[in-house]
Structure 1
Amino acid sequence: MWEIVTAGGWLMVPIVASSVIALAIIGERFFSLRNDKVLPVNLVADVWRMASTRQLTEDKIREIQQASPLGRVLAAGLHNRSHDREVMKASIEEVGGHVAHELERYLNALGTIAAVTPLLGLLGTVIGMISVFTNITTVGVGNPAQLAGGISQALITTAGGLMVAIPALMFHRYFRRKVDGLVVDMEKESLKLVDVLQKRQSQARVAQG
């Protein structure tokens, strides 16, 4: 394997480095974008239970905020729970935008790797073919070994670039789709909490009236 990499020439260095970075990003994103880490089960129900039993103190809200991305979004609404629905919704959407940006962390780098590594492979192909034609010009076509060296370099770098780019592109699209789904689910859960809290406030006002 190492012989194949070295036969590809110096352009295999950035291609191999890109593959290592892509693997690190993919592993990190798989860990960070787990559903139970981003959207803890029954979090909205737990928050509602604390709110209904008047256990929802500022310390509890801070604890919820620091526990998960969904918690950050819910905390934005809870900090404004004494206001009307539009204020709560606006604060949730603002924080939700920041959370969505954080969920997309490193995805631009992964997309860049998917776009650049085929170009590096193509550059290796061009350099290899230049080497082939240079040898033909200087020594003719009587030495197959020298011609094969340039062609081999061209094919190896092209294959290496594609081997990195294809999975990088696949996982980039997968994680983009996953982030979109998580953001939609966070919005649904947050609005569910807003509606429940607003309903409770309305009932309290009617009871007081």
Structure 2
Amino acid sequence: MPAVDQNSVLEAAMSILFRGGWVLAPIFVLGWFGWFLMLERYAYYFMLRGGSVNGVDGGFWKNLEKKGEDFAFEKLSHHRFGYFYALARDVRNYRDKGPIAVRNAMEETRHRISLNLSRSLKTISTCAALSPMLGLLGTVSGMVHTFENIKLFGFGNPVLFADGISEALLTTQAGLLMSFPLMLAYNFLAGRVEKIEELAWSEALKYESYVFKEGKFEVK
């Protein structure tokens, strides 16, 4: 397999950038910034998902039933950044103070993690929405460039206004190519975030009910 010439790839990219006009640069910057935020959000999501899945898939409850609460919680602590682990830890830390204290602590943790989960999502959505708008701006700019050349030189030589048409088409294409995948990834992530919140919260409520239903801890 022949090696890829990095210089030729860079030259091709710069050629496309110059042919697309000044609008193409902010489209690329906006798109890569949106994808950087998206990847960071996915990393944070999978970090929280670990502990939650441990609670949802039955592993925590099987350990709780067979080997006791301390062992189950110790295994769960391996996912110490997980959503379910954070809520379950509140149950353990505040159970001696009663169900009201436990619920207040859980609500505070739920609110804090929800804010962290939704952070940057609006910015990602904005990047996805602005990319085609910038592409449209590039289209208008390219057409203006084309008509200026026609005004100066007429239709005698189409090469003179080909740059304007190329600018219009390239910016439109770049805006759409940046927007569509980013919006699809955003919608998928938003749905997964909502699901993990629901699952972690329902499992935490189940654990809270188990703790106080068993009556193992005296309420002060």
TM-score bin (small chain)? 0.7 to 0.9
Aligned equivalents of 2:86 and 2:208: distance in 1? 14
> How far off its partner does 1:128 sit?
0.7
Q: 3-state DSSP class of the match of 2:156? A: coil
Taking only the aligned residue pairs, the percentage that are identical comes to 25
Letter in 1 for 2:29: A
Aligned equivalents of 1:204 and 1:154: distance in 2? 70
Aligned equivalents of 1:55 and 1:171: distance in 2? 38
The equivalent position to 2:109 in structure 1, one of 95, 102, 108, is: 95
Would you say the 8 A contact 2:128–2:182 is kept in 1? Answer: yes
> How far off its partner does 1:67 sit?
3.5
Query: Which aligned pairs between 1:45-64 and structure 2 lie closer than 5 A?
Result: 45=61
Tell me which residue corresponds to 2:54.
41
Aligned equivalents of 1:169 and 1:125: distance in 2? 21
Tell me which residue corresponds to 1:76.
90
Aligned equivalents of 2:171 and 2:69: distance in 1? 65
31-40 vs 13-22, which moves further:
31-40
Letter in 1 for 2:172: T
Would you say the 8 A contact 1:125–1:154 is kept in 2? Answer: yes
Tell me which residue corresponds to 2:8.
none
The equivalent position to 1:24 in structure 2, one of 36, 44, 56, is: 36
Would you say the 8 A contact 2:49–2:83 is kept in 1? Answer: no
> How far off its partner does 1:146 sit?
1.9
- TM, length-normalised to structure 1: 0.81
91-100 vs 179-188, which moves further:
91-100
Structure 1: runs of 5 or more not aligned: none
Structure 2: runs of 5 or more not aligned: 1-11
Letter in 1 for 2:54: V
The equivalent position to 1:116 in structure 2, one of 130, 154, 163, is: 130
1:130 aligns with 2:139: no
CA gap 1:39/1:29 in 2 versus in 1, 3 angstroms: same
Deviations 1:154-178 (A, max 9, x none): 1100100110011111111111111
Would you say the 8 A contact 2:63–2:71 is kept in 1? Answer: no
Query: Which aligned pairs between 1:149-168 and structure 2 lie closer than 5 A?
Result: 149-168=163-182
> How far off its partner does 1:204 sit?
6.7
Would you say the 8 A contact 1:76–1:91 is kept in 2? Answer: yes
Aligned equivalents of 2:70 and 2:127: distance in 1? 50
1:200 aligns with 2:195: no
